[in-house]
Chains A and B, each alone.
Chain A
Amino acid sequence: MTEEKELVERLSRGDTAAFRELVEAYKKKMYYLAFDMVGNAADAEDISQEVFLKAFRGFKTFKRGAKLSSWLYRIAYNASIDHLRHKSLIPEAAEDVVLDSGRGGFSETRSTADPALTAEIRLLRARVEKALANVSSQERTVFLLRHYNDLMLDEIAETMQISIGSVKSYLFRCIQKLRKELASPGTPSPPEVPDEGM
């Protein structure tokens, strides 16, 4: 926390080196949050850069004592929503993204030499994406922020500007819906593969 305070002080003075530290610390988080929101790698990079540009130019609006990460998440969330509204984009089918992984600067995070197991994993991932697509946007956003981006419930509430009770409610309902979706026939159990890190 002390480090963050120091960083905030330097940022408030317009220290470019401090800004670079901020970017290096949060670039992946901003990128993946944007990716989860818009479902497109190129747009995700564009949005994540926009987050840092807005943060750099509008650092005066940052309230001292607030959490830097929450502030950045909120900018990223709003930028993603604006992007979706502007382009009227529906996130592209995530299974396509998954199937495209490993090409064009992407690398597969989990790989296995067993072709049968790979097919099973791919099928499971497609079912997961489909299940996520079948919940409401608010429920999905809360789940994505909590489950894949590791935001605490109070941070989600702050990012989305909703009450923490609403966050809990959305999250509970989302998990229940996902459970029903995944319980439908044809959903394989998660395979036992060694976790190589995500």
Chain B
Amino acid sequence: MKECKKCRALLVEALYGELDSKEQDFFEKHLASCPACAAESEAMTETLKIMDERVRPERDQGFWNGYWDRLSRRMKEEEAVVEEKPRSWAKILGRSWSLRPRWALQAAAALALIAAGILIGRMIFAPRQLPVEASRPAVEAPPVQPGEGDPVLRARNYVDRSKLVLLALVNYDPTSDDPYALDLPLQKQISQQLVNQAGALKSDLKDPGQRRLRELVADLETILLQIANLEAKNDFEAVDIVKQGVESRGLLLKINLSEMGGDPSAAGRGAAVEKPPAQKTKI
């Protein structure tokens, strides 16, 4: 039994003739004395004989004669490809990077991070670029020249500027601690400019629908002329007279009605002392 086990361990080598002489002697002697092992060996030998029937398609001589030529051609083709490869920029850069010291790579990475941070920061926190028209201050708008543009718009502008001058005078209190709260020279200067524009403006407001606006401009022109003719220094008595004129003409009320689209001509009738509700006035 022990010999049978040893025999079977040698069976594969025996089938292919790979036993040394000592093993071969043992194997042959055992088979001669053991019918089971002999039958096993015989069956496996027969199996291998059947397996010998397998054939691989033989290539003809032409195939083998041309083998070297085909191989040489392929070698040349692949060598050409290998020579082409290092020319690519990616390879060249990759090779040059691989030669850099480690600290250089780290520094480059840090710089790249900083640059990316700056770029992202600018994109997120930079002020929005407004359109040119929107960013231009309203005060920079060119002043409307007499005789230019829509006369109604020019009249509205005229009324607005006049209103500011009148309010400055009406709200002025000579008994206050600050005698220089009213900048009379400036008000005189503005008033003079407005008086200068009034003539052209009135002549442009010829349309019957613009009559009330034209009358308001004329009223303002009168009072503005008084202001322009005040003394250069703070002439508080004269200021009081102008204030009374503004009130008697109901100019501020007319201005307010004009702004609301009402009839400024009705404001002077029995409403001379009415003051604009939105303004803090002192008489």
Q: Which residues of chain A have a CB within 8 Å of any CB of chain B?
A: 20, 23-24, 27-28, 31-32, 35-36, 41, 45, 49, 52-53, 56, 94, 97-98, 100-102, 105-110, 121, 124-125, 128-129, 131-132, 143, 146-148, 152-153, 168, 171-172, 175-176, 178-179, 182, 187, 189-190, 198
In the assembled complex, which residues on chain A have CB atoms less than 8 Å from the CB atom of B13? 153, 168
- Report the bound CA distance from A143 to B58 in whole Å: 20
Using CB atoms and an 8 Å cutoff, list the residues of chain B in contact with chain A: 9, 11-13, 15-16, 18, 43-44, 46-60, 62-64, 67-68, 70-71, 74-75, 78
Shortest Cβ distance from A182 into chain B, in angstroms?
A: 5
Q: Which residues of A lie under 8 Å from residue B63 when comparing CB positions?
A: 105
- For the complex with contacts A97-B56, A172-B12, A178-B51, 16 further pairs of A-B residues with Cβ separation under 8 Å are A24-B68, A41-B59, A49-B70, A53-B78, A97-B57, A98-B55, A101-B55, A106-B57, A128-B50, A129-B54, A147-B51, A153-B12, A178-B50, A182-B47, A190-B53, A198-B58
Which residue of the partner chain, among A49, A105, A121, A175, contacts B48 with CB atoms under 8 Å? Answer: A175
A97 to B44, CA, bound (A): 26
B58 contact from A24, A106, A175, A190, Cβ within 8 A: A106
Cβ A23 vs Cβ B68 within 8 A = yes
If A101-B58, A105-B62, A179-B43 touch, whether A52 touches B71 (CB-CB below 8 Å) is: yes
Which residue of A41, A168, A189 is within 8 Å of B57 (Cβ)?
A41
Contact of A100 among B9, B57, B75, B78 (CB under 8 A): B57
CB distance from A14 to the nearest CB of B (A): 13
Q: Which 9 A-B pairs have the closest CB atoms?
A: A101-B57, A106-B57, A179-B47, A128-B54, A109-B58, A171-B12, A172-B12, A107-B58, A168-B12
A20: which B residues are within 8 A, CB to CB?
A: 68
Q: A97-B57, A98-B55 are in contact. Are A190 and B49 (CB under 8 A)?
A: yes
Residues of chain B within 8 A of A107, CB atoms compared: 58-60
For B49, what are the chain A residues with a Cβ–Cβ distance below 8 Å?
190
Do the beta carbons of A125 and B54 come within 8 Å of each other? yes
Give CA–CA (A24, B43) in the complex, Å. Answer: 38
15 A-B pairs whose Cβ atoms sit less than 8 Å apart in the complex:
A49-B70, A49-B74, A53-B75, A97-B57, A101-B55, A105-B63, A106-B57, A128-B54, A147-B48, A153-B13, A153-B18, A172-B12, A175-B44, A175-B47, A179-B46
Q: CA A148 – CA B56 in complex, angstroms?
A: 9
Q: Are A125 and B55 in contact (CB under 8 A)?
A: yes
Min C-beta distance of B42 to chain A, whole Å: 11
Given contacts A49-B71, A172-B11, contact A125 B53 (CB under 8 A): yes
> Which residue of the partner chain, among B15, B16, B55, B71, contacts A23 with CB atoms under 8 Å?
B71
Candidates A32, A128, A172; contact of B53 at CB < 8 Å: A128
Interface centre among A52, A121, A179 (most CB of B within 10 A): A179
Across-interface contacts of B46 in A (CB, < 8 A): 179
Q: How far is the CA of A131 from the CA of B47 in the complex (A)?
A: 11
CB pair B50 A124 closer than 8 Å: yes
Beta-carbon nearest neighbor of A182 in chain B: B50
- A168 CB to closest chain B CB (Å) equals 5
Q: Give the nearest-CB partner of B45 in chain A.
A: A175
Q: Which residues of B contact A121 (CB under 8 A)?
A: 53
Say which residue of A27, A105, A132, A171 sits within 8 Å of B54 (CB atoms): A132
Partner of B56, one of A23, A36, A124, A182: A36
Contacts of B70 in A (CB 8 A): 45, 49
Residues in A neighbouring B60, C-beta threshold 8 A: 105-107
- Please, how many angstroms separate the alpha-carbon atoms of A99 and B75 in the complex? 33
Cα distance, A111 to B134, chains bound together (Å)? 98
CB of B57 within 8 A of CB of A152, answer no
Contacts of B54 in A (CB 8 A): 94, 125, 128-129, 132, 148
B188 to chain A: closest CB distance in Å? Answer: 99
Shortest distance between the CB of A105 and any CB in chain B (Å)? 5
Q: Is the CB of B53 within 8 A of A124?
A: yes
The smallest C-beta distance from B165 to any residue of chain A, in angstroms, reads: 94
